[in-house]
Amino acid sequence: MRDAREELHAFINDSDATVAILSGRGGIGKSKLIRHWSSEVADWTVLFKKETVPISSTTENEVTGHKCLLVVDDAHRHRDIDGLLQLVKDLKAEGKTIKVLLSCRPIGIQRIDAALSRSFDPSAVVRLAELKRLSEADARALEVLAAAKKRLLVVKQCALF
């Protein structure tokens, strides 16, 4: 099974996929994963939709860049998700290369599915594996890997002086 970052990379590289849904319970690490992964995405303008900023007639002008990824964290909380998805559909129909990454809690999946059904064919939607809590062994392995990367970075920096 692929890990979440591999699934996200597959989504961004899939020309047929327009929307991806990343779900997981609150506090599991969806937001952190998205922020980290989106910083690795090359050649895409990444825009984060704020819950407090509504979609308006000028929103289209803010979606700039040759390839644009809109990230909607906690999408189930956004009251204007229908408007955002319709805007994405319209921009895509005009030829813009645009994708949307929605994160939500499992309890909000039905609301997201309903909004998606009004704007997108199911074939354009990728459902990523639900984020689950790491096992103790996996958490330790990740810790070891992070420490090794940190040591390697320090060694590389020391080699420069």
* Number of C-beta neighbours around residue 69 at 10 A: 20
pLDDT of residue 149 exceeding 60, the answer is yes
Sequence spans of domains, the chain: 4-130, 135-161
On the question of pLDDT at 1 being above 50, the answer is: no
- Strand, helix or coil for residue 103: strand
d(CA 43, CA 67): 7
CATH architecture type of domain 4-130: 3-Layer(aba) Sandwich (3.40)
pLDDT digits (tens, 9 = 90+) for 73-107: 999 999 999 999 999 999 999 999 999 999 999 99
Closest CA to 73 of 131, 5, 18, 21: 21
Q: What residue type is 118 in one-letter code?
A: R
The answer to whether 26 and 104 are in contact (CB under 8 A) is no
